[in-house]
Structure 1
Amino acid sequence: MATIPLQLAQRRLDTGNVVSYPGGSPVGAAMQGFGAELSAVAERFRQQKQQQDAFDAEVIGRELNGQIAEAEKEAIQNAPADGRGLHDAMYGQARNGVVKPGLFDKIFDSTVPKMPESERASFIRQKEALRLAGSARMAAQQYARRQDYEQAEWSKAQAAELNAIAQSDPDDTAAFEAIRQSGFDFIAKMGNPVARQAAETAWRSNTAKALAQAMIAKDPGRAVELL
């Protein structure tokens, strides 16, 4: 069957200024049937176009998800050790009513023109839901990166402090207490309360062991007393 343009197929037969045929005549019935067929063709075309648009929108949406995932991966890889700015760079920020867009906005907005027109409004309405989900992911990544950073920095500081105790005069109580308190002050600034409590417990134990090592190093005979 030949293809009938949609704008033509949607039009009813124009009955003005043409010869009219009795409804019951063969010619009249044929003309009415032809008009009904045109309408049916138009409806099938509309449904087919709607289905194609929905399919294309699904493909484009999946491509967008892939682009976002890749952008998040690169943002995490390129973020500083403490994760600073990771979330805002990807998903932007809103402060005092002012919205600063992120890479997500650039990716999403560049996808809008690719969407079929019939699906575009629905697609645009999904933007903030996608931002919210992605924002939660990146906030979690930034938080985890920060916790790892704090733990790594504390481990370095602790190693240096314990070495200082081990090399110090074990009878210099003031020096020992100063180092110990310095460690507690450092730990108090850690953001994760669970990690902070664990670090405090370990610090008490580790400083006591370091002091014992210093005592033994100064007077090996005291090893028996410390057992």
Structure 2
Amino acid sequence: MVHIIPLSVGRRRLDTGNAVQYPQGSPIGGAMQGFGDELSALAEHYRKMTERQEAFDAEIARRQFNGRIALAEDELAAKAPADGAGMHEAMYGQLDPYDGRAVKPGLFDKMFGEVLPSMPESQRANFAKQKEAMRMAGAVRMAQRQLQRRKDYEQNQWSGVQRAELDAIAQSNPNDTVAFNAARRRGLDVLDKMGLDPQGKLQAEAAWRDSTAKTRIGATALKA
């Protein structure tokens, strides 16, 4: 940080307590008064310049912090289990479901605590006030990411279930209605446990019934 003329200079204007006193209307007295005014204006100029510089530095630091947060989120997502479990809590801690307050710290809290002391002192309090708003924005972002990871995981698992049950139908006796209905029911049971919205669930069930029916018809044709 650039060191500037102390602001006390501007506040006291000109300390003439121990200096020779000149008549108020004399040329020298007027010059001394003018010099004090110039010092006061100079100090005010540097004060404003420092505030602007520190506000700029704080904005750059905030942007760098946001970049570090984004990188940390990516790293946590890369290391998380296939279903995304724990991603949100590891990054943003555990939140009270009623008021959104953090009741268990996460990586975000550690990172925020590390960056706060490096903020310009004049901007530090304002940055600290932004912490919970930043947490909430990140928490929503990470929760959506975890939910999408879970959705992809369930879809991948469902694909495996479909392959297994359709193979079982294809290899079974096409006239064995009990076995066919059991295989179809097992698939519907899995769909019922997936986190699908009502419309998505209806569509998935319809597609499953269609797939099982076509597989059974195919098996009948092959064994005819």
CA 216–49 in structure 1, closer or farther in 2 if over 3 Å, else same: same
Residue 64 of structure 1 is matched in structure 2 by: 65
1:32 to 2:37 alignment: no
Report how many residues are paired.
217
Alignment partner of 1:200 is 2:205: yes
1:149-206, Cα deviation, whole Å (9 max, x unpaired): 1111011011100111111122221121111111111110110224422221111011
In structure 1, the residue matched to 2:77 is 76
1:225 paired residue number: none
CA distance in 2, matches of 1:140, 1:213: 41
Aligned twin of 1:49: 50
CA contact (8 A) 2:93 2:107 kept: yes
Structure 2 distance, partners of 1:153, 1:92, is 28
- Percent identity at matched positions? 57
Whether contact under 8 Å (1:83, 1:142) holds in the other structure is yes
Q: What's the TM-score, normalizing by structure 1?
A: 0.88
Shift in alpha-carbon separation, 1:49–1:26, aligned structure 2, 3 A: same
Aligned to 1:89: 90
Take 2:115 and 2:160, find their aligned partners in 1: how far apart are those partners? 46
Unaligned runs of 5+ in 2: none
Match of 2:220 in 1: 215
Instruction: Report matched runs for 1:60-209 at 5 Å.
Output: 60-95=61-96, 99-193=103-197, 194-209=199-214
CA contact (8 A) 1:10 1:38 kept: no
For 2:102 and 2:40, locate their aligned partners in 1 and report how far apart those are by CA, in whole Å: 51
CA RMSD of aligned residues (A): 1.8
What is the CA distance between 1:18 and its match in structure 2? 4.2
Using the alignment, how far apart are the partners of 2:130 and 2:96 within structure 1?
Answer: 22
1:78-99 Cα offsets, whole Å, 9 max, x none, are: 2211111111111111248761
Task: Output the CA distance in 2 between the equivalents of 1:44 and 1:99.
Answer: 45
Partner Cα distance (1:83, 1:123) in 2: 31
TM-score w.r.t. structure 2 length? 0.89
Give the letter for the 1:198 counterpart.
Answer: Q
What secondary structure sits across from 2:173 in the alignment? coil
Letter aligned with residue 77 of structure 1: A
Q: Which runs of 5+ in 1 are unaligned?
A: 221-227
CA contact (8 A) 2:83 2:153 kept: yes
